[in-house]
Amino acid sequence: MTWRKLEGEPLERDILIEVEEALKAEHGGARIKVCIGSDSQVKTAYTNFATAIVFLREGRGGFAFVNKYATKRRFTIKERMIQEVNDSVQFAYNVCPILDKYNTELEVHADINTDPNFKSNVALKEAMGYILGMGYTFKAKPDAFASTYCAGKVVS
């Protein structure tokens, strides 16, 4: 998995080093919040997945790092939504020690609709339980911009 900036420029170092360097650079400036989210899209024989880590500077915009991978595995809608959440939670788990070191708030975003009229809603309870059970703050659509917009932009 190759991480890059949202604009497309590849990151030269390991993602955990990039996250720490980004937090160091912002330390002492505006308050930072980190949001992690994933999205997926089925394309013929493949399912593409993307994960985004978004750094929000309070009152000063933000920036994001993203990655993408594809698999030939077939998923039900529920399995695919849970795989997205799993990708986000696994990354959050790996990055948490760095966020704790810099006292940085974390949200995990799920690209799952809270409206039961949408197909993705079948995974809402499980996704919420998984994210909250890991001790993270949970956000779903329409508040899940890290997954819906950032990861969604990369996966399409």
At 92, which CATH number? 3.30.420
How far CA 82 is from CA of 32, 89, 128, in Å, comes to 27, 10, 10
The reported pLDDT for the residue numbered 124 is 94
List, edge to edge, every strand of the sheet that includes 4-5: 4-5, 62-71, 46-57, 32-43, 105-113, 137-141
What is the percentage of the chain residues whose pLDDT exceeds 90? 79
pTM for the full predicted model: 0.94
Q: In terms of residue numbers, what domain contains 120?
A: 4-155
Tally DSSP H helices, then E strands, for the chain: 5, 6
Q: Is the pLDDT of residue 1 over 70?
A: no
The reported pLDDT for the residue numbered 88 is 97
In the chain, the number of structural domains is: 1
The reported pLDDT for the residue numbered 47 is 95
